[in-house]
Amino acid sequence: MLAERNRYVFVVSAAATKGNIKEAVRATYGVSPVHVNIVNIPAKKIRVGRRAGIKKGYKKAIVQLPEGQKIDILPT
C-alpha cells in the first residue's frame, strides 16, 4: 500500500526532526524526499500474568519520494 504511493517507513530516534530525517535519507540512500511525516507511538501498559510493565513508545517517519525514485532496501 505505501510502496504504491512511493512511501517508506523508518523507526527513528525520539530526538529526530523532519529536517534531520530528510538529510539522513539523502545521505544514506542518495534520494531526496518530497515529504516527511512523523508519528509518535506512545508507550503502552502491558501485563503478563500478575506482572505489569510498560512497552516503550517510539517515533517513526513516513518518507515520500518523488515519482521515478525508489529505495532498494529488499531485493525482489
Phi, psi at 61, each rounded to 5°:
-115, 135
Could you tell me the pTM of the whole model?
Answer: 0.82
Tens of pLDDT, residue by residue over 40-75, are 999 999 999 999 999 999 999 999 999 999 888 776
pLDDT of residue 2: 80
pLDDT of 76 above 70:
no
pLDDT of residue 5: 86
How far is residue 54's CA from residue 33's CA, in Å, rounded to a whole number? 34
SS3 54: strand
- The half-sphere exposure of 52 on its side-chain side, counting CA atoms within 13 A, is 2
**Domain-wise residue ranges, the chain:** 7-64
Tens of pLDDT, residue by residue over 9-21, are 999 999 999 999 9
pLDDT of residue 49: 94
What homologous superfamily is domain 7-64 in, according to CATH? RRM (RNA recognition motif) domain (3.30.70.330)
